[in-house]
Amino acid sequence: MNEETMDATKGRQPCDLNLISCTVVDLLGGSFVEDAVVSIRDGQIVGVNDGLQARESMDLGGRYLAPGLIDAHVHIESSLLTPAEYARVVLPRGTTTVVADPHEIVNVLGYDGMRFMLAASDNLPLDIYFMVPSCVPATEFDTAGSALYASDMYPFLQDRRVLGLGEVMNYPAVLAREPRLLDKIALFASARKPIDGHAPGLSGAALSDYIRAGIGSDHECTSPGEASEKLSKGMYIMLREGSTAKDLAKLLPAVTPASASRFMICSDDRHSNDLRDEGHMDHALRLLIAGGVAPIDAFRIASTNAAQWFGMKGVGLVAPGCKADFVVFTSFADFKAEMVFKEGRLVARDGRLVEDFPGYQPALRDSVNVKWLTAADFVIPDEGKKVRVIEARPDSIVTDCGIETPKVVDGRCVSDVDRDIMKIFVIERHTGSGRIGKGFIRGLGLKRGAIGGTISHDSHNMIIAGVDDASIFKAARHLNKIKGGLVFTVEDKVVLDLPLPVAGLMSDRDADYVIGKLRSFEELFRQEGLTNSSPLMTLSFMALPVIPSLKITDRGLIDVDRFGPVDLYVEP
């Protein structure tokens, strides 16, 4: 705090702004302070009801004034937007701070990807903090574009916006005490930085062992019992409400007045169209309140708790010395951000930015490097045996493993539309190795053609599923041509695409363009009669070999429960 700000606190200098006639949501005292005056100087709160003078006053007409909302765990890349465009979408929703794990781009571009995100997110009116990705590559079962070791991470510890170590996804490696992963954990533990977890379904002694390694949070709970056990063993729990994984409502029975201080909200992976149409943390907050969580506790979960877990001083409260980051609204039951303040400046009103801001996009190398493909690469020969089938679940990234007799034509296993069994391929796109994982998936609902993309968590190789080989082949060639993106093809025709040339993950266009394309995909899929409401998002998680049960990578099928590769064909 500079001398002039200190003088303002003492009333010797005028404040910049007084917000008057507001009802402060006091998350420390657990009450509502009516007819309050909040005084701001140099982007900080210098007083609440302290009788301070200001150069300017703004009458909020009795509306509620609460801390800005915080997303405790997000992969910005999953919005398909660069950081500046992402900020333009979420700021008007009341989000003033996010904790990003750039796991996606770092798995593609390594150290350069991390530097890109730090540079592209600097000096925005949205505070974007970072956790350094812990699992690059995520596992040994697929091919990432880079590797990040403890020695690579050390320089990031010096950055003020780097808070800690990102989600430790490879929990079997933690339990097995794999030295390289433990080195990363030790680096951040010794610096007293928070370490995020990722341990779906882990319980009992294994969970205790995982926590004992130094991991303190988790966002993968899918049942109240799982959340309660992890909570009781000392973890912070993030209630996730993403585009595919929607777990918040299911976990509400675990949220009680006694436990509310250990919960946060996060989006994890949320597409830009969902951000604009349904919302961001405002949507999660509405679900909390509709689910019976008391408004004070709901706002603690939506802001204060994350600031405490991550050690973000002066964030998440309306109190002297804190950042003047606020959301102004009229109703808890129908929460809507009517005004958003960032460091004392009005940045959004009624869902729109008050003024635009510049964005910076550093240059990046091309990231799609695929071996020359032929139609023969997509043949799955019949071996006279049953095959394993990935069973996709609605609104979930967890899958099941089915065993089916494949449809066979001319000695080849082919897709079977009647049983909703499609061929699926993962093509290594980082080194041009030519590796292709081959399998089958049920639950996408395709009736014709193929869908594909260069978004496939976490290594982001090219992933394609389709009804016929011609459509699949066309999708692969087109994705290579546009330097990554999303595509729907029918035979030799590209029906619709969305180029994502920034690491094959993000668009270099504005949010309106991206959202327009995503809405076109939604309409197209409705016209095609797909039973899956978000087939491209579902597809993007089918290569994630740390989420049960059966997944596919460029090296083949992975049984996540046994944490090892399995053959496509099942022995009699």
Q: What percent of the chain has pLDDT over 90?
A: 87
pLDDT at 507: 97
C-alpha closest to that of 363 among 112, 88, 79, 111? 112
For 185, 202, 231, 416, 532, the CA distances from 211, given in Å and listed in that order, are: 12, 11, 11, 44, 36
Q: Residue 417 domain-assigned?
A: yes
pLDDT at 234: 97
Q: Residue 46 domain-assigned?
A: no
Do 255 and 126 fall within a single domain?
yes
Do 398 and 532 fall within a single domain?
yes
Using the Cα atoms of residue 196, residue 202, residue 207 and residue 209 in order, give the sign of their dihedral.
negative
Do 258 and 393 fall within a single domain?
no
- Domain stops at, among 261, 295, 329: 295
d(CA 280, CA 552): 30
pTM: 0.91
Do 447 and 548 fall within a single domain?
yes
Band of pLDDT at residue 546, cut at 50, 70 and 90: confident
Q: Give the contacts of 58 (CB within 8 A, at least 6 positions apart).
A: 17, 18, 19, 20, 346
Q: Residue 363 domain-assigned?
A: no
If residue 89 lies in a helix (H) or strand (E), which one and from where to where? helix 83-90
CATH of the domain at 216: 3.20.20.140
Q: Provide the domain limits for residue 141.
A: 71-295
The answer to whether 314 touches 321, Cβ cutoff 8 Å, is yes
Q: Residue 538 domain-assigned?
A: yes
Q: Give the contacts of 280 (CB within 8 A, at least 6 positions apart).
A: 69, 71, 89, 90, 93, 94, 95, 267, 270
* Interval 288-306: pLDDT, tens: 999 999 999 999 999 999 9
Q: Residue 173 domain-assigned?
A: yes
C-alpha closest to that of 531 among 406, 415, 392, 431? 392
How many CA atoms lie within 13 Å of 316's alpha carbon, on the beta-carbon side? 26
* Interval 467-521: pLDDT, tens: 999 999 999 999 999 999 999 999 999 999 999 999 999 999 999 999 999 999 9
* Interval 344-394: pLDDT, tens: 999 999 999 999 998 888 888 889 999 889 989 999 999 999 999 999 987
pLDDT at 244: 78
Band of pLDDT at residue 170, cut at 50, 70 and 90: confident
Q: Residue 118 domain-assigned?
A: yes
Q: What percent of the chain has pLDDT over 70?
A: 98
Using the Cα atoms of residue 102, residue 108, residue 111 and residue 115 in order, give the sign of their dihedral.
negative
Q: Is the pLDDT of residue 5 over 80?
A: no
Give the mean pLDDT of 135-160: 91
pLDDT at 361: 82
Do 270 and 407 fall within a single domain?
no
Q: Is the pLDDT of residue 61 over 70?
A: yes
For 86, 96, 117, the CA distances from 124, given in Å and listed in that order, are: 10, 10, 12
pLDDT at 10: 60
d(CA 14, CA 41): 8
Q: Residue 170 domain-assigned?
A: yes
Q: Is the pLDDT of residue 3 over 90?
A: no
d(CA 453, CA 127): 30
Do 291 and 382 fall within a single domain?
no
- Domain stops at, among 295, 312, 332: 295
Average pLDDT, the chain: 95
Do 420 and 547 fall within a single domain?
yes
pLDDT at 11: 65
Q: Residue 462 domain-assigned?
A: yes
Q: Is the pLDDT of residue 129 over 70?
A: yes
Q: Is the pLDDT of residue 6 over 80?
A: no
Do 289 and 434 fall within a single domain?
no
Do 263 and 411 fall within a single domain?
no
Q: Domain tally for the chain?
A: 2
C-alpha closest to that of 84 among 510, 514, 518? 510
Q: Is the pLDDT of residue 446 over 90?
A: yes
- Domain stops at, among 247, 264, 295: 295
Do 275 and 417 fall within a single domain?
no
B/e letters for 155-171, b = 16+ CB within 10 Å, e = fewer, are ebeeeeebbbbbbbbbb
Do 90 and 178 fall within a single domain?
yes
* Interval 217-258: pLDDT, tens: 999 999 999 999 999 999 999 999 998 789 999 999 999 999
Do 389 and 286 fall within a single domain?
no
The number of helix segments (H) and strand segments (E) in the chain equals 17, 31
pLDDT at 359: 85
Tokens of 198: 């990722």
